[in-house]
Amino acid sequence: AQSVTQPDIHITVSEGASLELRCNYSYGATPYLFWYVQSPGQGLQLLLKYFSGDTLVQGIKGFEAEFKRSQSSFNLRKPSVHWSDAAEYFCAVVTYNQGGKLIFGQGTELSVKP
């Protein structure tokens, strides 16, 4: 069955430091991949998405993600974290068989130290 794994439940980084959030998926073909961010008490906001082509995708708020087929990974990165980036981040995959299911990882909570 298709699945998405975010190995890190909680990550703390210092403001200005670089960030990498991990995401691994299990799927027989190349899926559509997404990263969403959820601030406290807010809904989900799309950061970026990948379908095909260039394996490095740029998103909003200075985020980028790299698709690595050999590792079944789609890690999210940011070169310099801002305090406002503190939030929960979700990796998601759309499987377009069986009518398509949008499946989320467990989420990674990001804390930013001043």
Partner 1 sequence: SQTIHQWPATLVQPVGSPLSLECTVEGTSNPNLYWYRQAAGRGLQLLFYSVGIGQISSEVPQNLSASRPQDRQFILSSKKLLLSDSGFYLCAWWFYGGSNTEAFFGQGTRLTVV
In the complex, the residues that contact partner 1 under the rule CB under 8 A are 6, 9, 32, 34, 43-44, 46, 49, 51-52, 90, 92, 94, 96, 99-107
CB of 49 to partner 1, least distance (A): 7
Output 28 or 114, the one with its CB closest to partner 1: 28
Strand-pairing partners, residue 78, are 19
CB of 71 to partner 1, least distance (A): 21
Distances (CA, A) of 46 to 5, 14, 15, 71, 81: 18, 24, 22, 23, 18
CB of 43 to partner 1, least distance (A): 5
Phi/psi at 74 (nearest 5 deg)?
Answer: -150, 75
Output 19 or 57, the one with its CB closest to partner 1: 57
